[in-house]
């Protein structure tokens, strides 16, 4: 699933391509991806709108359109948003096409068909985020270490599922939760209540470092993820633990173990992570 670094990379690659470009038409091949408004109204409202800005909140890519409209796109597990020449053959999982005024197409491709699009007025974004239970973005400069600790507060349960809870901070998925916990030297099954102030500070620092480095390396491609130009990321070559069961820990050489935590696969060094 594309997480914060992947969505940020899609934004970065698409911005010079589509900023200021007009959407001359929209063709929807799979109506269920349009969550609001209805598909026909969606097409009518977007047609002839110019793309005036691109932003991101957690795993949501936000396209700002003229007349104060906003399109929130969630790629979910296998979604791809790719800028393509009109004469390039379409992927067979292409479910929506934006026809652009420069003659190119912006194509939404999604093998698993879980991706979503929501069109709203710009002023409705805060309400939308509240309804989706989104906390502050994990790389928001306003999310200080102290605010991070406050948001964790008296929460219960294990730390790994909490990191995946988008109401705590938005943008972290399974790949980066595993990497963050290894970087902070914290076991994924540690009770949140057992973490010391020093460990919470290390967790915050690890979160910032891992996500920033992943953005710099254009995200992680394990299978489906590509950026807005259709190119894979390269952070997968730098993963310390995720997907590396049985391989040596980069820190101590202990074999990396795989376990289930809250129904998700955790990759952990049982020597380094306590």
Percent of all residues in the chain with a pLDDT value above 90, rounded to a whole number = 99
**Would you list the domain boundaries of the chain?**
4-131, 145-268
**Overall average pLDDT of the 237-255 stretch:** 98
- Annotated catalytic residue 189: no
Tens digits of residue pLDDT in 199-227: 999 999 999 999 999 999 999 999 999 99
For residue 19, give every residue at least 6 positions away whose Cβ sits within 8 Å of its Cβ, in sequence order, or none: 51, 52, 53, 54
Helix (H, G, I), strand (E, B) or coil at 101: coil
147 contacts 114 by C-beta, under 8 angstroms: no
Domains 4-131 and 145-268 share a fold: no
Residue 41 confidence (pLDDT): 97
Q: Out of 57, 59, 183, 218, which one is annotated catalytic?
A: 59
Longest dimension (CA), the chain: 58
Residue 133 confidence (pLDDT): 96
Tens digits of residue pLDDT in 108-158: 999 999 999 999 999 999 999 999 999 999 999 999 999 999 999 989 999
Q: Provide the CB-side half-sphere exposure for 43 (13 A, CA).
A: 13
Q: What is the CATH number of domain 145-268?
A: 1.10.8.50
**Overall average pLDDT of the 191-201 stretch:** 97
- Annotated catalytic residue 145: no
- Annotated catalytic residue 2: yes
- Torsion angle in degrees (nearest 10) through CA of 27, 32, 36, 40: 40
pLDDT band at residue 69 under the 50/70/90 scheme: very high
CA-to-CA separations, 89 to 19, 86, 92, in angstroms, rounded: 24, 8, 9
- Annotated catalytic residue 3: yes
CATH architecture of 4-131: Alpha-Beta Barrel (3.20)
- Return mean pLDDT, the chain: 97
Q: What is the pTM of this model?
A: 0.97
Residue 1 confidence (pLDDT): 76
Q: Out of 17, 47, 90, 264, which one is annotated catalytic?
A: 264
Residue 251 confidence (pLDDT): 96
């Amino acid at each position: 699933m594309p997480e914060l670094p992947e969505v940020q990379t899609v934004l970065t690659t698409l911005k010079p391509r589509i900023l200021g470009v007009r959407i001359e038409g929209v063709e929807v091949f799979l109506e269920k991806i349009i969550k609001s408004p209805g598909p026909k109204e969606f097409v009518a409202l977007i047609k002839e709108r110019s793309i005036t800005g691109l932003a991101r909140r957690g795993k949501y890519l936000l396209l700002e359109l003229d007349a104060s409209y906003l399109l929130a796109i969630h790629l979910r597990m296998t979604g791809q948003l790719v800028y393509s020449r009109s004469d390039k053959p379409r992927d067979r999982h292409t479910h929506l096409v934006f026809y652009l005024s420069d003659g190119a197409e912006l194509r939404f491709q999604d093998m698993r068909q879980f991706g979503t699009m929501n069109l709203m007025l710009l002023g409705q974004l805060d309400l939308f985020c509240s309804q989706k239970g989104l906390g502050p973005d994990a790389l928001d400069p306003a999310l200080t270490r102290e605010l991070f600790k406050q948001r964790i507060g008296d929460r219960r349960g294990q730390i790994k599922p909490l990191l995946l809870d988008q109401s705590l901070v938005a943008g972290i998925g399974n790949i980066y939760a595993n990497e963050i916990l290894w970087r902070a030297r914290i076991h994924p099954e540690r009770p949140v209540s057992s973490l010391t102030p020093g460990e919470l500070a290390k967790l915050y620092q690890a979160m910032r470092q891992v996500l920033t480095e992943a953005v710099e390396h254009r995200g992680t491609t394990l299978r489906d993820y590509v950026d807005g130009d259709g190119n894979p990321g390269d952070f997968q070559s730098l993963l310390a633990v995720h997907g590396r069961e049985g391989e040596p820990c980069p820190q101590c050489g202990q074999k990396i173990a795989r376990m289930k935590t809250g129904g998700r696969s955790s990759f952990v060094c049982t020597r380094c992570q306590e």
